[in-house]
Amino acid sequence: MKRINASCLLAVLLAYVMLLNVGCSTYPSAAEVGAARGAAAGALVGQAIGRDTKSTMIGVGVGAVGGAVLNDQRARYRGY
């Protein structure tokens, strides 16, 4: 029971910190948008292939990095 409470507390604290930073941010860069989209796609692909949390997390990491790099390069090519 204590472990569940600690996990819930950690999740609430992380959400609180993330919400505090949202109000201070400007428009996201192309790399940030690409990282978010890549992480979402990577999570779906990682879960579909591995069917466990480790594969999902690997997919999130690879997707975030790949999405950030690809979207940043595409924005530079288009002159944004």
CB 44 within 8 A of CB 58: no
Averaged pLDDT for residues 68-74: 93
Averaged pLDDT for residues 38-50: 93
Residues 6+ apart with CB under 8 A from 74: 30, 34
Whether the model pTM is above 0.75: no
More confident residue, 78 or 27: 78
pLDDT of residue 4: 62
Q: Tokens 């959400």 appear where?
A: 15
pLDDT of residue 72: 92
Domain ranges for the chain: 2-78
